[in-house]
Amino acid sequence: ETGVTQSPTHLIKTRGQQVTLRCSSQSGHNTVSWYQQALGQGPQFIFQYYREEENGRGNFPPRFSGLQFPNYSSELNVNALELDDSALYLCASSLSQREWDTGELFFGEGSRLTVL
């Protein structure tokens, strides 16, 4: 069973640029969630995809968008980068909709984005 993998692990962008972060879910998982974690804070929920459709979104502007593919891999896209977008971006996969599933999140190691 492969775990959750994210790429790239580190990247540096400048204000106004666009970035795409990628995530490969754990085998068999049908749900992917993305979180933003600023330094010293807890992860903040960005959005969640279930079977290729967004089915939950946190308090993030539309310039944060995502995709989930048929193989359950996922992308997070951020347009018009701002300095405050500097953070660790965590992808997590889970298995939903079975009575015995806790919906536990399995995390990747994150992509650390620095915006200059």
Please give the residue ranges that form the binding site for another protein (CB under 8 A).
31, 33, 35, 41-45, 48, 50-51, 55-56, 58, 88, 90, 92, 96-97, 99, 102-110, 112
Between 13 and 58, name the residue whose CB sits nearer to another protein.
58
Reference 23, options 112, 84, 109, 104; nearest CA is 109
Shortest approach of another protein to residue 98 CB, angstroms? 9
Between 13 and 45, name the residue whose CB sits nearer to another protein.
45
Reference 92, options 33, 27, 9; nearest CA is 33
Reference 87, options 54, 115, 57, 51; nearest CA is 115
Between 16 and 89, name the residue whose CB sits nearer to another protein.
89
Structure tokens, 87: 């953070």
